[in-house]
Amino acid sequence: MCRLAAITSNEYFSPIENILALESMKEGHDGSGLGLTLKDLGSDFKELKGYPILSGICSKEGAKKLDYFMEKAGFKLIDVWAPKIKPVKGITPRDHYFARVYDYPSSYKHKPMAEKENLLMNVRLALRKLGEPDESIFAFSFYPDVLTLKEVGDPLHVADFFGLDRDNLKAKIIFAQGRQNTNYVIYLYACHPFFIQGYCSMTNGENTAFVPIREFLISRGFPGYIGYNSDSEVFTHILHYTLRQLGFPLTYYKDVITPLKDSEIENREGKEALRLIKQSLRPLCIDGPNVVIGFTPDGTCFMAHDSKKLRPGVVGGAKGKFALMSEECGLDSAIPERNKSEDIFPMKYDMVIVKPRAEGVKIWNQLQG
Amino acid sequence: MEPATRLDHNHKLSLREFPYIIRWRDDRCTRCGRCTAICPVKAIEPTVKVQRIVTSEGPVPTPMAVRKIIHVVEQMTDMERYCTGCGTCTLVCPNDAIEPEYNPQNKFLHFKNRGGEGYKRGGRRNDPAISTLDRLKFTRISMLTDPALDAGRHEFRVRTLLGRILPADELPLKRVNGKLAVDRESGKFIPPVREIFPIMIGSMSVGALSPPMWEGLAMGVAYLNEVEGLPVVMATGEGGVPPRLLKSKYLKYFIIQIASGYFGWDEIIHAIPHMVEDPAAIEIKYGQGAKPGDGGLLMAQKVLKLIASIRGVPQFVDLASPPTHQTKYSIEEAVAKMIQSMSMAWGFRVPVYPKISGTKTARAVLNNLARNPYASALSIDGEDGGTGAAYNVSIDKMGHPIASNIRECYMDLVKQGKQNELPLIAAGGIAKKGNLAANAAALIMLGASAVSVGKYMMQATANCFGDEYNRCNLCNTGKCPRGITTQDPKLYRRLDSDKVAERVVEVFKAANVELKKIFAPMGRSTELPIGMSDGLSIDDKAMADRLEISYAC
């Protein structure tokens, strides 16, 4: 089972906290990879909040292609951050791991954020297309104040490899996933967390409804709905589609992925709307055992389960710092000093929502709306 | 020179030309006469023959020839009275003395055109080979990596939607206090949608079916809905609806069909003001998988008083439905108008969808309907569908298999992003070998939202003899030995409508369990796995490519 460790705080903290939480949840062989997504970045990035950060990996050849492409696209490189790589047994280093901070092309500087988001996504997709055949470029995210790191290997070793304990890299929201690869070949684009235009999620489990969901998303005609090297990528895209494209409030994400039965809808406010949503988004209904942890552009974090709660999940902490974990020992590692009696174990109808800046937590119950 | 036919019987056919040969056992037969009396086609007759018997009685062989007149059961070699293999004789025989046996060497079709008339029959395509549907396997099993569901313990939602579904970005929604509500002021038309069990009973008309058969199906469907909570719907076929049903609360479980003959529609339209419930849907029949491009025919002898009153016609006249709707001159206009007219008749509260026969051109129809906001679904009836009466050539040779037809239509909708907007209903050959749930699940995973089953229902609920070896298939003659497709009270009183209803309930309850047994190991329980093509495999590479699924051997 993949391990999920998300922490949200009103103060900057190191991703090593997430890694240690992952480590405490480790059972058996688990070396398929580590994915880290950091939002609301600290240290050197604090001064660069408004500028998009391109996170990825490239070869020497890929670096040239990337520079040429970005220059041609009108992006101006402002800053470059790279992890301080330490050779670790079992991890084959690639040429460049990077987070490059760019300034928008002059024609986009004063455009609305939605247009900028589309530009950034299209550039990321173009880079992906450019580098995918020979694996010379991997582009994971291109968005302001968001950084992504991914590599194959045991999470603790990968953290050591990236020098996360020695680096000053910090953020206020950090998602980490330790991937237990069981179904597919190890491929970096299959590593969680997945990110698109400010929306991010990671999952463990198996999404058995993957193919119809993938077909539905692809056929929305939105260029960002591609990839799907993992069956879990659709969770991120459903989140993006529901919230950004359709403009629904966050709680409707739960109603989309695990719709209520008609008899249960009867007791909800706005039941007619809910019934229509259930029908229209029927192909986005997930199946199989899954727990989803995600964040939205405003920094809200959430946890939701499949309709039968076939996977564990726990949220705990106090105002100022909360952790959303796939298992309780991860929570113990991340926030040991919390009041454990207030830990939240969301059930199948629940969606746990942690407010931006970790200001508080609430349980939204689907039956009551 | 005068031919010698009268002397050597050269004009007669031998029994070897016939599809079924009667195996009659002289030693077991008590000469009760039940078999010859009941044979629906008079293929056997009691007759007398002179037999020469050699006997010897004394201690020393003294053979003596004696000629005796004996009574035998003889099979006719007249093409008009061929043995259909139905086996009614076997059923009535008290002593297991008689049984028809299939003759694979038969040359039946060489001769079944006497009088210059092509062979007509009921039933479905005479092809006993394993169909594509039966070759599809469910190969994606969730095992130790992600445990499977428990079909007996977990909750499963085996339901589908019948009706036009609006795309999410066109829903008339507004935010009220942070929640979504329907915006009534938008004036947007919200099409009617029904939540039903994904297996429905296909169109078989009052008239084609006997009163106890139709009644049995209807009672079974009502029981399933009212008592078992299984929302099974049944299509009426063309031929009207019994008047009491039209005005009853159970009408909501019925899909009323309108076809090219419009039989019964005067009565239906006049009953609308008295209806207490809307029907489940309206099906406009443009084609039938068993006989594409062919109309319907209810023979005069089946048009008795009840049928005449339901259909609004005089008794004892042939009721022919033309091959096409006479008002249909183009799909863009005429079909759209008909869908709208039907919708309007029920105040746009009832889904209206066309049914066509499986065809290479199905996608053209589909794409037209996909752009018609009032079209609620498309039902495609494949070549293995059944019929009550058609030319053998139509049944055997015309039409398109359902598997690839439904798949290409679904993939076409996927390309356009409309896969959830216009449900596809698949029919034709489902449960040909009795695998109702497996065939239905396979079609659903290929892209069908629901399946429609007719022939199998007759076989499973009323013991219809018909099979793909042309057994019985007398539906068109009104002489159905089981009392299923006849209006002759002497025949249909053999059928107990309560027993039929009981079997309908058993069939659907079992199918519901079996569907769960298929979906559970595949990890699907929350929604019907429409288009879950990664769950399917087939042992033929070309078929796998055509259906866009994996090949497994």
For the stretch A59-108, pLDDT in tens is: 999 999 999 999 999 999 999 999 999 999 888 899 999 999 999 999 99
- CA distances to B26, B28, B398, B464 from B94, in Å: 14, 10, 42, 21
Residue B178 tokens read as 């942070």
User: Over chain A, what is the mean pLDDT?
Assistant: 93
The answer to whether A209 faces chain B, any CB pair under 8 Å, is yes
- The length of chain B is 553
What's the rounded Cα separation, in Å, for the pair B319 and B387?
A: 15
Task: Label residue B63 left, alpha or beta by phi (over 0 means left) and psi (-120 to 50 means alpha).
Answer: beta
Given an 8 Å threshold on Cβ–Cβ distance, is A273 in contact with B173?
yes
Q: Mean pLDDT throughout A227-236?
A: 93
- What integer pLDDT is reported at residue A31 of this predicted model? 67
- What integer pLDDT is reported at residue B154 of this predicted model? 85
Q: Decide which of B4 and B549 is more confident.
A: B549
Q: Which domains does chain B have, with CATH numbers?
A: 9-54+64-118 (3.30.70.20), 137-551 (3.20.20.70)
Given an 8 Å threshold on Cβ–Cβ distance, is A270 in contact with B531?
no
The answer to whether A281 faces chain B, any CB pair under 8 Å, is yes
- What integer pLDDT is reported at residue A62 of this predicted model? 95
pTM of the model: 0.95
The answer to whether A189 touches A152, Cβ cutoff 8 Å, is: no
Given an 8 Å threshold on Cβ–Cβ distance, is A289 in contact with B146?
yes
Is pLDDT above 70 for B145?
no
In sequence order, the β-bridge partners of residue A148 are A37
- What integer pLDDT is reported at residue A153 of this predicted model? 85
Going by C-beta distance under 8 Å and a sequence separation of 6 or more, which residues neighbour residue B294?
B288, B323, B390, B391, B394, B398
- A325: pLDDT confidence band, cut at 50, 70 and 90? very high
- A30: pLDDT confidence band, cut at 50, 70 and 90? low
Task: Give percent helix, percent strand, percent coil of chain B, each to the nearest 5.
Answer: 35, 20, 45
Q: DSSP character for A48?
A: G
Is pLDDT above 60 for B20?
yes
Given an 8 Å threshold on Cβ–Cβ distance, is B179 in contact with A270?
yes
The candidate with the shortest Cα–Cα distance to A277, out of A296, A302, A245, A252, is: A252
CB contacts, 8 Å: A209 with chain B: 524, 526-527, 529, 532
Given an 8 Å threshold on Cβ–Cβ distance, is B523 in contact with A183?
no
Is pLDDT above 60 for B252?
yes
What's the rounded Cα separation, in Å, for the pair A230 and A218?
A: 14
Question: Out of A183, A209, A277, whose CB is closest to B524?
Answer: A209
Strand B160-162 to B194-196 pairing = antiparallel
The answer to whether A308 faces chain B, any CB pair under 8 Å, is yes
The answer to whether A295 touches A192, Cβ cutoff 8 Å, is: no
The answer to whether A269 faces chain B, any CB pair under 8 Å, is yes
The answer to whether A312 faces chain B, any CB pair under 8 Å, is no
CB contacts, 8 Å: B146 with chain A: 205-206, 208, 288-289
If you measure CA to CA, which chain B residue comes closest to A183? B145
Given an 8 Å threshold on Cβ–Cβ distance, is A287 in contact with B176?
no
What's the rounded Cα separation, in Å, for the pair B260 and B335?
A: 12
Residue B51 tokens read as 């037999």
CB contacts, 8 Å: A289 with chain B: 146-147, 523
Residue A199 tokens read as 């929306």
Residue A195 tokens read as 């990110």
Given an 8 Å threshold on Cβ–Cβ distance, is A285 in contact with B171?
no
The answer to whether B495 touches B143, Cβ cutoff 8 Å, is: no
The answer to whether B384 touches B432, Cβ cutoff 8 Å, is: yes
Is pLDDT above 60 for B174?
yes
Q: Mean pLDDT throughout A26-46?
A: 85
Q: Which domains does chain A have, with CATH numbers?
A: 12-365 (3.60.20.10)
Residue A157 tokens read as 């070793």
- CA distances to A28, A29, A334, A356, B111 from A329, in Å: 15, 18, 9, 24, 82
- What integer pLDDT is reported at residue A152 of this predicted model? 87
CB contacts, 8 Å: A249 with chain B: 175, 178-180
Q: Which residue has the tokens 């179904």?
A: A183
Buried b (16+ CB within 10 A) or exposed e, B162-193: bbbbbebeebbbeeeeebbbbeeeeeeebbbb
- What integer pLDDT is reported at residue B2 of this predicted model? 64
A2 vs chain B: nearest CA distance in angstroms? 11
Helices (H), chain A: 16-24, 60-72, 113-131, 155-162, 210-218, 233-240, 252-257, 262-265, 271-280, 328-334
Lowest-pLDDT choice from A146-150, B278-282, B317-321: B317-321
Q: What proportion of chain B, given as a percentage, has pLDDT over 70?
A: 98
Q: Mean pLDDT throughout B54-78?
A: 92
The answer to whether B148 touches B142, Cβ cutoff 8 Å, is: yes
DSSP symbols for A176-228? EEE----SS---GGGPSPEEETTEEEEEEE--TTHHHHHHHHHTTT-TT----
The answer to whether A29 faces chain B, any CB pair under 8 Å, is no
- B5: pLDDT confidence band, cut at 50, 70 and 90? low
3-state secondary structure of B397: helix
B256 vs chain A: nearest CA distance in angstroms? 24
Residue B540 tokens read as 């033929």
- For chains A and B, what is the number of CB pairs under 8 angstroms? 129
Lowest-pLDDT choice from A148-157, B118-127, B165-174, B396-405: A148-157
Given an 8 Å threshold on Cβ–Cβ distance, is B419 in contact with A258?
no
Is pLDDT above 70 for A185?
no
